[in-house]
Structure 1
Amino acid sequence: MNLLHHLRCFIAVAEERHFGRAAERLHMAQPPLSQQIRRLEGLVGVELFVRTTRRVELTAAGATYLTRARAILDLVDDAAGEARRIAAGVVGHLAIGCVGSATYSLLPALSRRLAEELPSVDFSFRGEMLASEQVDALRTGAIDIALLRPQADDPSTTVRVLREERLMAAVPARHRLARRKQISVSELVDTDLIVHSAGRRSAMYDVVRGLFTEAGVTPRIRHEVGETSTLVTLVAGGLGAAVVPEPVEALALDGVAFRPLVRPTRTIQLAVAHRADRTEPHLHRTLAVITDVVQSN
């Protein structure tokens, strides 16, 4: 027996107070409707209607049952609507992690676009995460999507490179190199350097060391920091220079001059990643929005 159909028949009769009008409303014949109500009364174990030749009236039990029946159908309809929204990828919760440069250059535009296009998805954001931290967070479920620097291949994670970012020298505004239009790595050899932490497995640390190795010079590393904002703040304070991805210019701190690096020229990749076993529609809709925002900025 289809209980939901019985409930809909009951509600129609209760609201119309007439079997004929209720049958028309339900697009069915009157005799089968009467049978449905009798079966429902048999299931419940009480009479729900008082029937006369002219009208159909609810019993006291029927009036109480009507309130509950409406609530049940409302819940069923809400559940069906929510299931359809989930299948369409428009509801859910996602946590997104970002490396430092993406935090400043992309997160404002990305959060706006996600709010506009997926308003029923609850988003949270974690900025200033090193790539290694994001990979760990993806594995544990602490975040669902990562904007990071690609790491070694991991079959448990799906990674897609979104763009190449050129590297810049960030020097104190009063530094002698700030007057240059471009700066070579070898010109930084006599300048104290501020780098991302090697101990926290920063991808940028390896990139910077690689640049100096290729140039045949030894960097004079004086400070290691965990956050890009701290790194640029120390440059602004005159404590040294740094090598950063170009989007870090979005910080625009007073006291810092950003200049393109030349000879050797290198870029660093920005990628989006998620666990390979994640297939939810709202996650993949979010990935599409992220891809569009990154590639259009």
Structure 2
Amino acid sequence: MEMPDLTTFVVVADELHFGRAAERLHLTQPAVSHRVKRLERDLGTDLFVRGGRTVSLTEAGELVHRRAPQILGDVARLREDVAAMRAGRAGRVRIGFVGTATYDLLPRLSRRVEQALPHVRLELVGEQLTPDLLAALESGSLDLAVVRDAPPMSTCRRTLLRSEAMVVALPSHHPAAEHAQVDLVDLREERFVVHPSSPPSAMHAAVLAACRSAGFTPRDTLEVRETSTLVTSVAAGLGVALVPNPVRALQLDGVTYRPARGGGRLVTELSVVEPAASSAAAREVSAILQDLAVP
């Protein structure tokens, strides 16, 4: 069934006159008759009773006349929805975030997308580890991933969002909390609260590398999966931590943040990773992420 044929039928049914219908449609009368006959062939029945100069609807024609506006409206809305999806103004985007971005970028992205792309539905997953996020991208269960220190991936493209300095998180009663900066080597006897070593999180490797650069290996570590748990553990006095600067957003009582020095290049890179063949909506959301991440 062709939509122009159905549209033509509705006008003829409204007018009950092929000539007036042709005038409304800016078509010739033979063209109108051809479209109606083609629709009748498609449906396998007559829709009009043609008698001399009079035209009336058959029972089947009355049924089609009642239902046609709904069908035409649905098709028009479908075209609009597909066009919006093709342009990136509609659709679903599933995004995963590493722990620190969960508390910084995730809420701001949600607000911005709601304002700029109200017909894009976000599905957000926070407090994830970089290896898990990259695996989810490769399996197709995520459309975008905000990760830390991501390795090159042949099937995905990676865009640097920003570089983040690492800071020391200390229990507020710790003597080093009184200093403006903390030398990592001064923490060599402390227990370090870190993200997991298996699966290996990007931050776990970054913290150990910084400590080695400062001349020591932590004598003891406490591994936790979530950044919020890591900061809570520091507040409870269970150890110290080396974290990206945005973790400061977790302002818990009992935790003091201080700049770190003496551990080499104390910087990590936050990136957004997406499949090479991402959707238009995912590309629009990625662009917003890149804008929000500018310091």
TM-score (norm 1): 0.92
Q: Using the TM superposition, give the Cα deviation of residue 239 of structure 1 relative to its aligned residue in structure 2, in angstroms.
A: 1.0
Range with greater deviation from structure 2 (162-171 or 63-72): 63-72
Q: Secondary structure at the match of 1:154?
A: coil
| 1:36/1:207 CA distance change after superposition, 3 Å | closer
Structure 2 spans left out of the alignment, 5+ residues: none
Q: Any residues of structure 2 matched to 1:111-122 within 5 Å, and which?
A: 111-122=110-121
Q: Using the TM superposition, give the Cα deviation of residue 25 of structure 1 relative to its aligned residue in structure 2, in angstroms.
A: 1.3
Q: Can you list the C-alpha shifts for 1:1-23, whole angstroms capped at 9, x where unaligned? A: x7322222111111122223211
Q: One-letter code of the match for 2:243? A: V
Q: Any residues of structure 2 matched to 1:256-295 within 5 Å, and which?
A: 256-264=255-263, 265-276=265-276, 278-295=277-294
Q: Secondary structure at the match of 2:127?
A: coil
Structure 2 counterpart of 1:185: 184
2: CA distance, partners of 1:31 / 1:275: 52
Structure 2 counterpart of 1:209: 208
2: CA distance, partners of 1:55 / 1:105: 72
Q: One-letter code of the match for 2:267? A: T
Structure 1 counterpart of 2:23: 24
Q: Any residues of structure 2 matched to 1:197-276 within 5 Å, and which?
A: 197-264=196-263, 265-276=265-276
| 1:44/1:131 CA distance change after superposition, 3 Å | closer
2: CA distance, partners of 1:266 / 1:150: 13
1: CA distance, partners of 2:210 / 2:35: 80
1: CA distance, partners of 2:147 / 2:132: 10
Q: Secondary structure at the match of 2:294?
A: helix
Q: Can you list the C-alpha shifts for 1:187-233, whole angstroms capped at 9, x where unaligned? A: 11122211111122011111111111111123232311111111100
Q: Any residues of structure 2 matched to 1:19-58 within 5 Å, and which?
A: 19-51=18-50, 56-58=55-57
Q: Secondary structure at the match of 2:206?
A: helix
2: CA distance, partners of 1:245 / 1:185: 15
Range with greater deviation from structure 2 (259-268 or 236-245): 259-268
| 1:35/1:106 CA distance change after superposition, 3 Å | closer
Do the aligned partners of 1:167 and 1:268 also contact (CA within 8 Å) in 2? yes
Q: Secondary structure at the match of 2:118?
A: coil
Q: Secondary structure at the match of 2:164?
A: strand
Q: One-letter code of the match for 2:234? A: V
2: CA distance, partners of 1:130 / 1:143: 14
| 1:105/1:55 CA distance change after superposition, 3 Å | same
Do the aligned partners of 1:94 and 1:145 also contact (CA within 8 Å) in 2? yes
2: CA distance, partners of 1:280 / 1:249: 33
TM-score (norm 2): 0.93
Do the aligned partners of 1:91 and 1:282 also contact (CA within 8 Å) in 2? yes
| 1:186/1:64 CA distance change after superposition, 3 Å | same
Q: Secondary structure at the match of 1:128?
A: strand
Q: Using the TM superposition, give the Cα deviation of residue 45 of structure 1 relative to its aligned residue in structure 2, in angstroms.
A: 4.2
1: CA distance, partners of 2:151 / 2:33: 69
Q: Using the TM superposition, give the Cα deviation of residue 84 of structure 1 relative to its aligned residue in structure 2, in angstroms.
A: 0.9
| 1:206/1:9 CA distance change after superposition, 3 Å | same
Q: Using the TM superposition, give the Cα deviation of residue 72 of structure 1 relative to its aligned residue in structure 2, in angstroms.
A: 3.2
Q: Using the TM superposition, give the Cα deviation of residue 295 of structure 1 relative to its aligned residue in structure 2, in angstroms.
A: 1.4
Q: Any residues of structure 2 matched to 1:85-124 within 5 Å, and which?
A: 85-124=84-123
Do the aligned partners of 1:150 and 1:159 also contact (CA within 8 Å) in 2? no
Structure 1 spans left out of the alignment, 5+ residues: none
| 1:176/1:76 CA distance change after superposition, 3 Å | same
| 1:268/1:11 CA distance change after superposition, 3 Å | same
Q: Can you list the C-alpha shifts for 1:44-95, whole angstroms capped at 9, x where unaligned? A: 4433223466653322221012234334323332332222112111122121
1: CA distance, partners of 2:41 / 2:66: 19
Q: One-letter code of the match for 2:268? A: I
RMSD: 1.9
Q: Secondary structure at the match of 2:211?
A: helix
1: CA distance, partners of 2:159 / 2:86: 24
Aligned length: 294
